[in-house]
Amino acid sequence: MGYLLFLKVNYVKRTLFIVFLCFILIQTNAQTNNPKYNKALADSLGADDYGMKMYVFVILKTGNGMINDKKIKDSLFLGHMQNIDKLVKKGKLIAAGPIKKNDKNFEGIFVLNVKTIEEANDILNTDPAIKSKLLDTELFQWYSSAALPLYLRFHDNVQKKGF
């Protein structure tokens, strides 16, 4: 009789342990839905289920184009700045800015609102400073928040001077 009671107690303990493990596994693997989720906004931004999407991150580096004429060089960089503005207005450029002087010859960055390197190259070929080899590029696919473009609507509210 004592042996049967021992088996029953062990059976109950093992069963409770297995149920407990299953509960823990279910809890750790369960994903919660976000109560703030806005399907229309997510869809309009191209977000996946995690609110993310693919971009192309571009590092602009000093190129090997040798242009000594200051007027021509200034004109090409003016065209570069105008191209940035055009790409922002088209929704293709999400972020851009210079990088502080460094030993890697990095000049700046772009975050392009495109999915592929090929699309990014097509866009970059519209930039006069890149076409003339004053700037060179390194491109990387980058997975980040699909909401990234939304900050741009506030930029005009903090920009005191234009280029």
What is the C-alpha separation between 66 and 74, in angstroms, rounded? 13
Tens of pLDDT, residue by residue, the chain (163 residues): 554 444 455 555 666 567 555 556 565 555 678 888 999 999 999 999 999 999 999 999 999 988 989 999 999 999 999 999 999 999 999 999 999 999 999 999 999 999 999 999 999 999 999 999 999 999 999 999 999 999 888 877 888 887 6
What pLDDT score was predicted for residue 24?
63
What pLDDT score was predicted for residue 6?
46
Name the pairing type of β-strands 106-112 and 93-98.
antiparallel
What is the C-alpha separation between 129 and 62, in angstroms, rounded? 10
Q: Is 61 exposed, middle or buried (0-12, 13-18, 19+ CB in 10 A)?
A: middle
What pLDDT score was predicted for residue 28?
52
What CATH superfamily is the domain 45-146?
Answer: Dimeric alpha+beta barrel (3.30.70.1060)
- Cβ(46)–Cβ(146) below 8 Å: yes
